[in-house]
């Protein structure tokens, strides 16, 4: 007797449109968040925050209530939602430009307050939607449309290590950096995302997962080469791992 071992998660719309470029890890990250919402059985009480960037069309695929934030303000909007409706599950889905550049103040302060929300950050070392400019996480030497000779420290400074920074913030209950470059990495990422949601559901504080993701279009690499870059130079600078886990301790 044939058994169903995989299906599209219920937290993904039936009429979903994946608006990302071919091979972009965003699509996997979105699905993992949806699978976690399904497994925790919280879809019907979840409110998501769509940020500015490639994730702005979150309502095209997430089968949950969604409100859009201005660029960088997702965690402030999430604060407003959660404080007004404390019984809801609230998450933001943001890029690194949104969360760690224009929205770094909102990020740090929401987490300092220990807002019971979950923040998922896609770190692809570039501003994807605007065409691949240098962002806060662009690696030293990385060629982008605004660092055509590669990022130089004396001009553009250093890449920001988001997870290392946020683990130091007292209000975070879970901080992890994951990759999606292999089937096992994807399984691990899902576990971490689930913990980041459990952090808010258990009232421990903010849950945060930084996903090292590909941007094949702007990196000008094939999806396969892009994954090799995540495994290689990206993981060397941004070390994957669990940086803080009050969920397991609890």
Partner 1 sequence: MKREKELLKGNYAIARAAVEAGCQSYFAYPITPQSEIGEYLSSAMPENGRAYVAAESEVAAISMVLGAGATGVKAMTSSSSCAVSLMQEGLSFIAGDEIPCVLVSVMRAGPGLGYIYPSQGDYYQTTKGGGNGDYKIVTYAPSSVQECIDLTYKSFYVSQKYRTPVCLLADGMLGQMMEPAVVGEYPYEEIDQSSWALDGAKDREPRHIASIEREQETLRKRVVKIFEKYNKILEKENIFEKYEIEGAKLVITAFGSIARIAKAAVKKARKNGMKVGLFRPILLNPFPEKIVAEIAQKVDGILDIELNCGQMLNDIKASIACAATIPVEFYGRPAGVMMTVEEIYKQIETVYRKIVEKKYGTACI
Partner 2 sequence: MGRIVLNRDKCKACYLCIDSCPNKVLEVDEKVNNLGYYPAKVNEDKKCVGCAICARVCPDMAIEKVYR
**Which residues of the shown chain bind partner 2 in the complex (CB under 8 A)?**
2-8, 12, 16, 18, 20-28, 31, 183, 186-187, 216, 223-224, 227
Instruction: Supply the minimum distance, in Å, between the C-beta of residue 127 and partner 1.
Output: 17
Whose Cβ is closer to partner 1: residue 3's or residue 84's? 84
Q: What is the DSSP letter of 133?
A: B
Instruction: Supply the minimum distance, in Å, between the C-beta of residue 66 and partner 2.
Output: 18
Whose Cβ is closer to partner 1: residue 129's or residue 160's? 129
Residue pair 29/58 in contact (Cβ under 8 Å)? The answer is no
Residues at the interface with partner 1 (CB under 8 A): 13, 43-47, 49-50, 56-57, 59, 62-70, 73, 76-85, 88, 105-106, 109, 113
Instruction: Supply the minimum distance, in Å, between the C-beta of residue 108 and partner 2.
Output: 30
**Pair of tokens at residue 48:** 């998501």
Whose Cβ is closer to partner 2: residue 6's or residue 84's? 6
Residue 46, phi then psi, degrees to nearest 5? -105, 140
Instruction: Supply the minimum distance, in Å, between the C-beta of residue 232 and partner 1.
Output: 35
Q: DSSP 3-state assignment of 165?
A: helix
Render 77-113 in DSSP notation, one character per residue.
HHHHHHHH-TTSEEEEEEEHHIIIIITHHHHHHHHHT
Q: Give 160's contacts (C-beta < 8 A, 6+ positions apart).
A: 96, 100, 101, 104, 136, 137
**Pair of tokens at residue 157:** 């400074």
Name the residue among 124, 126, 159, 158 with its Cα closest to residue 145.
Answer: 126
Whose Cβ is closer to partner 1: residue 44's or residue 225's? 44
Whose Cβ is closer to partner 2: residue 160's or residue 228's? 228
- Which of partner 2, partner 1, none interacts with 22 (beta carbon under 5 to 8 A by kind)? partner 2
Instruction: Supply the minimum distance, in Å, between the C-beta of residue 116 and partner 1.
Output: 13
Residue pair 40/194 in contact (Cβ under 8 Å)? The answer is yes
- Which of partner 1, partner 2, none interacts with 79 (beta carbon under 5 to 8 A by kind)? partner 1
């Amino acid at each position: 007797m044939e058994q169903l071992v995989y299906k599209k998660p219920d937290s993904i719309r039936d009429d979903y449109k994946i608006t990302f470029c071919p091979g972009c890890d965003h699509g996997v990250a979105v699905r993992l968040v949806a699978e976690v919402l399904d497994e925790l059985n919280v879809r019907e009480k979840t409110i998501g925050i769509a940020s500015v960037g490639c994730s702005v069309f979150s309502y095209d695929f997430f089968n949950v209530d969604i409100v859009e934030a201005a660029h960088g303000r997702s965690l402030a909007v999430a604060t407003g939602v959660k404080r007004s409706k404390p019984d809801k599950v609230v998450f933001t889905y943001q890029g690194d430009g949104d969360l760690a550049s224009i929205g770094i103040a909102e990020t740090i302060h929401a987490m300092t307050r220990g807002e019971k929300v979950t923040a998922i950050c896609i770190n692809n070392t570039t501003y994807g939607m605007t065409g691949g400019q240098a962002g806060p996480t662009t690696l030293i030497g990385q060629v982008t449309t605004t660092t055509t000779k590669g990022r130089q420290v004396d001009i553009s400074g250093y890449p920001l290590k988001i997870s290392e920074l946020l683990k130091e913030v007292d209000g975070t209950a879970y901080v992890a950096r994951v990759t999606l470059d292999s089937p096992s990495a994807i399984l691990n990422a899902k576990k971490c995302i689930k913990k980041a949601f459990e952090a808010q559901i258990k009232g421990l504080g903010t849950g945060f997962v930084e996903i090292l993701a590909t941007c094949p279009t702007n990196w000008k690499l094939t999806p396969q080469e892009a994954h090799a870059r995540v495994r290689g130079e990206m993981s060397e600078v941004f070390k994957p791992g669990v940086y803080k886990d009050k969920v397991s301790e609890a």
